[in-house]
Every structure is written in structure tokens, then in C-alpha cells.
Amino acid sequence: MVKFAELPVVLKLRRVLFIFIMLLLLLLGIQLCLTYLILPRMQIGQILLESTLDLSDEVLLSMGGLTGRENYISLNESEIRENFESFPMIRKAYVEKQFPRTLKIILFGRSPLGLAFAGTPGESEPLAFDEYGVVFEVPGNSGYMDLPVLTGLSLEDRNGTQRLPDSLSPLLRDLMNLKKNSPHLFGQISEISVRNNQGVFNEIRLYVNSYKLPILLSAALSDTVMKKILLVLDSLSSGSLMKNLEYADFRTEQVVLKTREGN
């Protein structure tokens, strides 16, 4: 037998070239096998979707840019997650591929604290906001209409991400604490009207269910203040004094009742 080292240089090169070509053909065969046999069979076969949002699976998947025909190998989890989180109503999204053909999605929606309206008075539509002041579209038939309405703001339409002014953060924090610790008292609030003076919301008017009398407040709104408001309103409702009042001022320790002009 002739050893490889004893072969002429030309034959050595031919043999090396032949081995190299065979390796290329092998790699090409593997690539073709992956492209036309294996990858087409790696389509996502199951989507496990969990969500706190009151929206159908079809709507939620479309928000993530999913059609149901995605390939398991080429699917980009980060891109899908960014698609979901581009919607303000979605606070956090988790997307994970699970071998061999499963996609798991968990969506956490924002917890609504109240409602505000965007658009013109004749063509306004409700938008929700959370404790952080993030404004988002009301999802589905979510029953948000029982939440207090925040008025006195100028909001844009539902497109894009927007937040309530930072100067309202103390009020939002008080509302969240009231909702968490005293949900019954929180449920008594029907409207909160804020008035803007050179970028500062220096007057808050609160309206309680079943009463039309405005309540003037400072920035602080606690369960103690709400109990005091309801106690005063209940006592006023037993007589005829309330119909002659313009507002009740709770901004100081002593409640001030402002009568209408001419009364």
C-alpha cells in the first residue's frame, strides 16, 4: 500500500480537494434538509396564553403580532414582548419558547384607578388611568364605568402613550391607598374635578354618589377625610340647607359651608 506521505504533491492536493468538496456537499445537504424538511415542521403548534385583560385570545395575539403560523426556530421572543408592551394597557409581558413547539405568553394588564375623557365634549371617549398616571384604552367590557371620573384635564386621543401630570401624583397615591384599604369609601366617589392654575392643580373638587354638592379638598384624601365628608353630607341631607349651598370646603380642619349668592 502506498502511504499518503509518499504520493505525489498533485495527488495529495486532489485528495484534499475531494474531501473538502464532500464536506461542502454534506453541509449543503444538511442545510437543504433543515430548510425543506425540518424547519417547515417546526411551526408553533401550541400557544399557552394567560392574561388579566378582558380581551379575546384572538385580539391579544394580534397585539403581539402573532398569526399562528410562526416558526419555532425563527420566532423572536424579545420582539413579541416589545409588541405587547407597546400597548399602554399592558404593564408587563412574558414570552417564552418551550421545546419542541410551544409558545407561552403571560400578560399583565394595568389596574385601573379611574377614568378620564379624551377628545371634544361632543365626541369624547373614556380612557382609564392607573396609580402611576399611565393613561390607557379601556379594554373590552371591563365594567370600568363604576370608577371615579377625573375631569379638568386635556387629554389627547387614545393613540400613543401618555401620562397624567406629575403634580397629580399625591392625589393618585391617596386614591390608590383608599381603594386598597377602604374600597367601600373609594366606591362612593363619582367624580374628581381638578383646576389648573399655571401648571399647578391648586383646587380639587370631589363629588360623591347621590349628592350634587361639590366638596373642596386639599391634595390629601384619606379614609378619615372620606368618612368626615359622608358624615357631613348625610347630616345636611336631612334638612333643606343643602339646596342653598354652593360647596362645602374641607381644606381646613373646620368645614366651611358656602351658600349661594342671594341666599
What is the domain partition of the chain in residue ranges?
4-31, 46-109, 114-259
Q: What is the pLDDT of residue 61?
A: 95
Q: How many residues does the chain have?
A: 263
What's the rounded mean pLDDT across residues 65-94?
A: 92
Count of CA atoms in the C-beta half-sphere (13 A) of 133: 15
Q: How far is CA 25 from the centre of its chain?
A: 52
Instruction: Return the CATH superfamily for domain 46-109.
Output: membrane protein fhac (3.10.20.310)
Q: How far is CA 79 from the centre of its chain?
A: 18
Q: What is the pLDDT of residue 35?
A: 67
199-213 per-position pLDDT tens digit: 566 689 999 998 999
Q: What is the pLDDT of residue 223?
A: 92
For residue 18, the SS3 value is helix
Q: Which CATH class is domain 114-259?
A: alpha beta
Q: What is the pLDDT of residue 125?
A: 81
Amino acid at 223: D
Q: What is the pLDDT of residue 173?
A: 94
Share of the chain above pLDDT 70, in %: 84
Q: What is the pLDDT of residue 73?
A: 83
C-alpha cell, 174: 391617596
For residue 19, the SS3 value is helix
CB atoms within 10 A of CB 166: 9
Residue 96: DSSP 8-state: E
56-69 per-position pLDDT tens digit: 999 999 999 998 88
Which residues have C-beta within 8 Å of that of residue 240, sequence separation ≥ 6? none
Q: Which residues pair with 216 in a beta bridge?
A: 205, 249
User: What is the residue-averaged pLDDT of the chain?
Assistant: 85
